[in-house]
Amino acid sequence: MKKLVLFAAMAAFAAEPFRDPAPPAVAKLEDRKPPEAKPYGNVKVHGKPKPLAAGAVAEDWVSFLGPTHNGISPETKILKTWGRDGPKLLWEMKKGTGYSSPAIKGQYLVYLHREGREEVVECLHPETGAKYWDFRYGTQFEDRYGYNNGARSSPVIDGDYVYTYGAEGKLHALKLTTGQVYWKRDIGKEFKVPQDFFGTATTPLVEGDRLILNIGAPGGPSVAAFDKKSGKMLWGTGTEWGPSYASPVPGTVHGKRRVFVFAGGESNPPTGGLYVIDPANGAIDFRYPWRSRSYESVNAASPVVAGNQVFVSASYRTGGSLLNLLPDGKHEVAWTSPEIGTHFNTAVEKDGYLYAFDGRNEPDASLVCVERKTGKVMWRWVPEWEEVLTTQDGSQRKQQLGTFRGTLLYVDGHFLCLGELGHLLWLELTPQGHKELARTWLFAARETWSLPVLSRGLLYVSQHSRDMLRNTGPRLLCYDLRAAK
């Protein structure tokens, strides 16, 4: 543990006067009746959900990391126990490539993935999988490291708008009820952003009347805000850091609204770090460099805002850092630690403690609890167990498996954990220790990297690769987690 007390030497930086390279035209949409949801051939329905339990708190999930942008759900009366086969599967949709998760508002679920040479936005009914509409556009993106070539960013719903950001940086504003295009921009082309290691992956943030993106254009802007209804750029800011795989998050510190952007993708020498920005005008309170020294690495876990502090973390021998945010817009470093280096999974802060998966690769990943005040590691745990693997031909073998680089969602008093190979667990995590409450194996597929989505007691899980045991392809799956009472 290395404890530092450093003060920012710079005052707030005003937003640079960047010019909008290509203000979009806003379509005057024809008056179209919203289509009814119809059975969809790519969706297999297994059953109907239970009614919500009396008094249950239920929420929409309109953006990445959930309704509060921090991996914490306010929902209650969630199913905590299940049998050998896990929670009831309600429906499943065959999907194309990508690492996206859905966004949900009311009776609309929006999902972004790729089929062939097209990125596809599909709108389904969240309880039945019935389809309202889809919207398609061409893409030529190829992942140069051999991962899949689909979209990485998740849709964002705001009012009657849904925003999607494709793997090449194609940004669309669609009408939620019909899929009609309000406006569109080719951010990568307009701002001359070269393809990063793994494509465009940051999810946009809606903050008031602004849509905020970590663009990472060479020479700036690193971050830009667009009018959410017209698509015109309102401000651009930052010149030094490229686009990361982390998504911007909002927060209120000392009564002031701020946006936290953890930037830094491909650059040589490797650079990146945290911007703290006034969303009204793009002025930067401060920049905090924090990035691996490895060239082939990125910042990928979103900042965690807790009170008047913010936590950032990165893998590749980087670790975590907690900053105190001061009333004058400056900061001091509370602590840095190599003990909590998150790869792509954002830490969850609960009651003064950080819970996260530390580790770069599958074998070296572990779940860690860190005291926020001091950076002290309370415990470290490698969740693993012996699994009996049964293949399609009926043969069996035993293998030691675990969560590896899992993701965490705090809901209804406990942590829901999705493991990297498709295991779903309920965990009781406190500063005093850890306990597994329930576990099931949803599917045996690698690259299960997207945080599960919970809305109105239903859980949505993205399977991104082929099931190694059952040979089922990538799917979006909906499970019933509504408690009986």
**What pLDDT does 145 receive?**
87
Please give the average pLDDT of every successive group of 10 residues along the chain, which has 485 residues: 38 74 97 97 98 98 97 98 94 98 98 98 98 98 92 98 98 98 98 93 98 97 98 97 97 98 94 98 98 94 98 97 97 98 97 97 94 98 94 88 98 98 98 98 97 98 96 97 93
Q: Find, among 480, 479, 413, 424, the residue nearest to 448 by Cα.
A: 424
pTM score, whole prediction: 0.96
Query: Both ends of the chain: CA-CA distance in Å?
Result: 46
Whether the CB-CB separation of 182 and 224 falls below 8 Å is answered with no
**What pLDDT does 16 receive?**
74
**What pLDDT does 399 receive?**
94
**What pLDDT does 124 receive?**
99
CATH number for the domain running over 56-480: 2.130.10.10
